[in-house]
Chain A
Amino acid sequence: MPKVPNWQLGREMDYPYERGKPQRQFAAVFNINRCIGCQTCTMACKSAWTFSEGQEFMWWNNVESKPYGGYPQFWDVKLLALLDEANPDGQVWDTSAKDAQNAPYGRYDGLTIFEAAKKAGARQQALGYLPSDKEWRAPNIYEDTSVSWSQGSSLPEHSTWFFYLQRICNHCSYPACLAACPRKAIYKRAEDGIVLIDQKRCRGYKKCVEQCPYKKPMFRSATRVSEKCIACYPRVEGKDALVDNEPMVTRCISACVGKIRLQGWIDDEKSPVYYLVRKEKVALPLYPQFGTEPNVYYIPPRWVPRPYLEQMFGPGVEDAIDRYSNPSEELLGVLQLFGSTQRLIFSYEITDEAAIGFDEKGREIVRVPIEEPVIVRPPQHLNIT
């Protein structure tokens, strides 16, 4: 099995194919601290791509409440359990082996899903399981269910912490779905690193469903082949005449009410996403220990116990939260660019007055004032209840 470099793990790892580096890699940053769990992203995706027969259960974008929620149910708990079983007590990081470029979080000394599968006797390319119908059918079950009733008819107030986790396909650099497909029906596009299932070659074996650790490929009974999040590639390509055929961010990202999402390129130093992930290190990959090098990055929620966050985002959590809570001028500026435009921001500039986003050709596409003017509605139109 070839060895490939994985910067998120700070080491090389086994992967069934050689590294095929795309010209640039689709990536996004989601700021968990600002999400209000309104599911507008979920519905934006649903109404664009998955409203037809056989897609009823499909949520290419979903928002789950952690720690209890998951879609499919318990997907991450199950994967973590499988990994722990394969390598009891060995899933650890060596944070002393940090190196800004090649190992920003230290070195992961445990097994990835590819290595765990190899150790288990290589019946699979990646360690995984096939979720049941029951696990798929109710995306937010148990999340907001009370455990007891009090004070008559009023709803109980949860006194514990929780947070919303926004999930789309991670368009991984080393996709496990791609590794799992015996037909090579899954491919990673050279132009933007978006991972797609060839609808003509797929024979519905559900191997991708079984081995994607994030459970984002889904089997569609109405066509008997699998489908997955396509990163709204027609928008990213700039195929929409409504916006002069310029590259646009995905539906879920542009629809976000709380402006928690920002799309860019992970390997382009000019991209604000590169800045947040590689330079400022305020945004972290989701379960980097799986080893797929996922390309959706999260600003971790500040109020959640660190051991839980470190299990989910790796050892970069403490630094990320520290930087987010005490932001630099540049970080504050880049945060202003989140949800500021439907157009895809390729580069940016932060001045004293504004955060400015530019398109691929360097033309200004958005300008957000650092100090927004505050206009207070007069008393007769007050909208605060």
Chain B
Amino acid sequence: MAWWATSYRKATLLLFGLVLLAAGLLTVFDLRLASSQAITLTANQVIEPVPLDDPFAAVWNQASPVEIPLSAQEVTQPMGGGSARAVTARALVDEKRIYFLLEWEDATEDLSLASQEAFRDAAAIEFPSDGGQTLPSFCMGQTNAHVDIWQWKGDWQADIDRGFASVAETYPNAHVDLYPFRDDKTFYPGWAVGNPFSQRERVSPVESLVAGGFGTLTSADVQRVAGVGRWQDGRWRVLFVRELAVGDDDGVRFSLGGSTNVAFAVWDGSRGERDGQKSVSQFTDLRIGREAESGGISTGTWILIIALLSGLLAALVAASGWFILGRGRRSP
């Protein structure tokens, strides 16, 4: 067999091999090229103060809104959701804090979870816990790549605005003659064991959580995310705020000029959406500050780029081999 033929086959094999290797690496490290949505949310740097209690403040005109498509959660039980088709995300950053503003359409303002049939509206932002070194599954992360989640809840917002809803407020016509031990936590087990849902004094409508796979979602030990949500004319606007500088174990780290990934979720309470029944996005790129570097490409993307470059190189080698050989053949 002519030498060129062997060389050509070698090149083809090399190409296949590299592609396989890339695929294998992606599989082994469970990396997903979720950023392929090709949307980048940039947290523009602002100098004037961002009000912590007004999601409609004028300073938000300085943000660059990005429309993030959402779809029903169809990966694990309980599946469903999908009533919100998109969420508009904005982000700002200053010397001290990072701010996110989510805006989406929802015909009803669902603030109560109190009755047997009611569910609340909610919204969440998710980040890779390690800042995007390894891109976790956008569905609650995985054991070797956790996610940080900030969830704003309509009922927590109502707790802050109006106080923790009592049964008498939920059911104004109900009559109860006496509650013995009314303020004794012993008789409110959720409250007594420190379940965040049962606590009557709320500091923030946003809960900070960590997860490493389905069913592992756990409230974070340190709660540092503030926020506010307001419903107006069939739209929610929810503001999330956190200090940039936090302790080592206080949640996801952001740095001015850096980048990471971010995903979003929205729940419509009046449609019975809760837990996995939600409208979700995949991970999208997040750049922090105007001077955000062009880098910040995730490991998965790097592997793909290397694979493609190697493939290109192999193709070039093969092509030049064919060209050389073609010339050789024509010569006597």
Please determine whether B215 and A184 come into contact, CB atoms closer than 8 angstroms: yes
Please determine whether B116 and A182 come into contact, CB atoms closer than 8 angstroms: no
Please determine whether B193 and A199 come into contact, CB atoms closer than 8 angstroms: yes
Please determine whether A221 and B189 come into contact, CB atoms closer than 8 angstroms: no
Contacts A123-B78, A182-B214 given: A204-B197 contact, CB under 8 Å? Answer: yes
Chain A 245-277 interface residues, beta-carbon cutoff 8 Å to B: none
Contacts A133-B116, A182-B276, A221-B165 given: A203-B197 contact, CB under 8 Å? Answer: yes
Q: How far is the CA of A133 from the CA of B118 in the complex (A)?
A: 10
- Main secondary structure on chain B at its contact with chain A? loop
Kindly report which residue of chain B lies nearest to residue A198, judged by CB atoms: B193
Please determine whether A221 and B78 come into contact, CB atoms closer than 8 angstroms: no
Q: Mark A116-146, 1 if CB is under 8 A from B, else 0.
A: 0000001111000011110010000000000
Q: Name the distance in Å between B9's Cβ and chain A's nearest Cβ.
A: 47
Asked if B117 is at the interface of the complex by the 8 Å CB criterion, the answer is: yes
Q: How far is the CA of A224 from the CA of B155 in the complex (A)?
A: 10
Q: How far is the CA of A122 from the CA of B181 in the complex (A)?
A: 43
Kindly report which residue of chain A lies nearest to residue B193, judged by CB atoms: A200
Contacts of B80 in A (CB 8 A): 123
Contacts A123-B79, A204-B197 given: A132-B117 contact, CB under 8 Å? Answer: yes
Q: Mark B108-121, 1 if CB is under 8 A from A, else 0.
A: 00000111110100
Q: Name the distance in Å between B299's Cβ and chain A's nearest Cβ.
A: 30
Please determine whether A225 and B197 come into contact, CB atoms closer than 8 angstroms: yes
Q: Name the distance in Å between A273's Cβ and chain B's nearest Cβ.
A: 29
Asked if A206 is at the interface of the complex by the 8 Å CB criterion, the answer is: yes
Asked if B294 is at the interface of the complex by the 8 Å CB criterion, the answer is: no
Asked if B188 is at the interface of the complex by the 8 Å CB criterion, the answer is: yes
Contacts of A122 in B (CB 8 A): 77, 79
Q: Name the distance in Å between A102's Cβ and chain B's nearest Cβ.
A: 30
Chain B 139-156 interface residues, beta-carbon cutoff 8 Å to A: 155
Q: How many residues of B are counted as interface, with CB atoms below 8 angstroms from the partner's CB atoms?
A: 41
Contacts of B38 in A (CB 8 A): none
Q: How far is the CA of A124 from the CA of B180 in the complex (A)?
A: 38
Q: How many residues of A are counted as interface, with CB atoms below 8 angstroms from the partner's CB atoms?
A: 36
Q: Mark B176-211, 1 if CB is under 8 A from A, else 0.
A: 100111100001111111110110000000000000
Candidates B77, B181, B187, B190; contact of A224 at CB < 8 Å:
B190
Contacts of A371 in B (CB 8 A): none
Please determine whether A136 and B116 come into contact, CB atoms closer than 8 angstroms: yes
Asked if B170 is at the interface of the complex by the 8 Å CB criterion, the answer is: yes
Please determine whether A54 and B275 come into contact, CB atoms closer than 8 angstroms: no
Please determine whether A56 and B197 come into contact, CB atoms closer than 8 angstroms: no
Please determine whether A223 and B189 come into contact, CB atoms closer than 8 angstroms: yes
Contacts of B193 in A (CB 8 A): 199-200
Please determine whether A52 and B274 come into contact, CB atoms closer than 8 angstroms: no
Contacts of B47 in A (CB 8 A): none
Contacts of B6 in A (CB 8 A): none
Kindly report which residue of chain B lies nearest to residue A230, judged by CB atoms: B189
Q: Name the distance in Å between B179's Cβ and chain A's nearest Cβ.
A: 5
Contacts of A132 in B (CB 8 A): 116-117
Q: How far is the CA of A123 from the CA of B72 in the complex (A)?
A: 12
Q: How far is the CA of A133 from the CA of B114 in the complex (A)?
A: 11
Contacts A122-B77, A125-B77, A221-B114 given: A183-B167 contact, CB under 8 Å? Answer: no
Please determine whether B116 and A205 come into contact, CB atoms closer than 8 angstroms: no
Chain A 35-89 interface residues, beta-carbon cutoff 8 Å to B: 51-54, 56-57
Q: How far is the CA of A221 from the CA of B174 in the complex (A)?
A: 14
Asked if B166 is at the interface of the complex by the 8 Å CB criterion, the answer is: yes
Q: Name the distance in Å between A15's Cβ and chain B's nearest Cβ.
A: 13
Please determine whether A182 and B77 come into contact, CB atoms closer than 8 angstroms: yes
Asked if B33 is at the interface of the complex by the 8 Å CB criterion, the answer is: no
Please determine whether B194 and A203 come into contact, CB atoms closer than 8 angstroms: no
Please determine whether A223 and B275 come into contact, CB atoms closer than 8 angstroms: no
Please determine whether A207 and B116 come into contact, CB atoms closer than 8 angstroms: no
Please determine whether A224 and B113 come into contact, CB atoms closer than 8 angstroms: yes
Please determine whether B198 and A53 come into contact, CB atoms closer than 8 angstroms: no
Candidates B77, B113, B179, B191; contact of A51 at CB < 8 Å:
B179
Asked if B217 is at the interface of the complex by the 8 Å CB criterion, the answer is: yes
A-B contact pairs, 9 of them (CB 8 A): A51-B180, A52-B187, A122-B79, A136-B116, A182-B78, A183-B217, A202-B195, A225-B190, A225-B198
